[in-house]
Amino acid sequence: MSQRANILFAFAVAMLLFAAWHVRGVLLLIYIAALFAVVITPGVESVQRLHIGKWHPNRGVAIVVILVVLLAAITLFLVFAIPPIFNDLQSFSRDLPAKISRANQRLQHLPFTDRLDVSALQQHLAGAVGGILGLVTGIAGGVFGFFSWIILTAYFIIDGRRAFHWVLSMIPAHHRPRLKETAVRAETRVSKWLLGQLMLMLILGTLSTVVWGFMHVKYFYALGVFAGVANIVPIVGPLISVSLAAIVAAFDSWTKAIGVIAFYLIYQQIENAYLTPKIMKSTVDLPALAVIVALTIGGSLAGILGALVAVPTAALIAVILDEYVITD
């Protein structure tokens, strides 16, 4: 009877692992939402401590206040950043037909233009259109996933403690105090990750704005803010921000574009080798080597999202290992 029970248990575990592999994307989204709920909760609790007379906001209102403040900051930024960019785009669109006409006249005088295969060019254009449609579909999926993440994170913030105590109730009573203490220490350690990440975002945003302003790159203030915000997404965020800045700079001169790229390469070396390990060591209390290894493994396992949550996950694992594996 015992052997049959072991076989059934092993079969059930195998089926659960098989199902988890097929829904790994959803599980990753849930894990990221839970992790960010832990990170954002101290800010929500700070808002809850505010008093207006005898009234103070509950957890749901505090979340709404934080979202409203973020949306107000984004709106204020767009009000100042969008009008000059929009005006330049209008001027560019007015001049575009004349620029295309001049480009066609120059191409007709080149010796190889008579060898162009029009049908092949049409096929390439059709493939490009298909690629654009795929990109639009991917962006739509990303937007849906983003709003799903916001909703899940809000629910974890509102009802996370009750869910934790429910899970804790299924643990034997003599193990609960130790597990609860470990969870509290892990929460404190993981929540400091956002502080370190905000410091990295502020450093990159400030330096980008100053350097690109000194180089007289157009919209340097908007590009600098975007570079700082995008830095929360490892690897891809900085690449997108510097590519956008280089394209804008290239409209003025290739020298400015090269200068933008050179600044990015130098800064990335400093951030990866010094800033990230030092800041994460002081906030999350992880060795520099552990931070680098965590980012590498997280990016390999789950791409951008894996790299995004690699450091707080490493801090969580470190607390568990300290409590249950490593003995003095």
Q: Has residue 278 been placed in a domain?
A: yes
Q: Is the pTM of this model over 0.75?
A: no
Q: Given pLDDT bands bounded at 50, 70 and 90, which one contains residue 111?
A: low
| Residue 72 shares a structural domain with residue 200 | no
The structure tokens 């076989």 sit at 7
Mean pLDDT of 143-164: 80
Percent of the chain with pLDDT over 70: 79
Q: Has residue 110 been placed in a domain?
A: no
| Residue 36 shares a structural domain with residue 160 | yes
| Residue 212 shares a structural domain with residue 308 | yes
Mean pLDDT of 150-165: 83
CA distance 286 to 280: 7
Mean pLDDT of 193-211: 88
Q: Has residue 270 been placed in a domain?
A: yes
Give tens-digit pLDDT for 174-191. Answer: 888 888 888 888 888 887
Give the range of the structural domain holding residue 185, as residue numbers without chain letter. Answer: 174-328
CA distance 76 to 83: 12
Domain count, the chain: 2
| Residue 147 shares a structural domain with residue 242 | no
CA distance 94 to 99: 10
Q: Given pLDDT bands bounded at 50, 70 and 90, which one contains residue 203?
A: very high
Q: Has residue 116 been placed in a domain?
A: no
Mean pLDDT of 191-203: 84
Task: State both tokens at 86.
Answer: 């929009």
Give tens-digit pLDDT for 38-61. Answer: 888 888 888 888 877 777 788 888
CA distance 217 to 279: 30
CB atoms within 10 A of CB 45: 12
For residue 256, is pLDDT > 80? yes
Angle between helices 220-230 and 236-250 (to 10 degrees): 170
- pLDDT in the model for residue 83: 75
Q: Has residue 84 been placed in a domain?
A: no
Mean pLDDT of 206-222: 89
Angle between helices 24-48 and 2-22 (to 10 degrees): 80
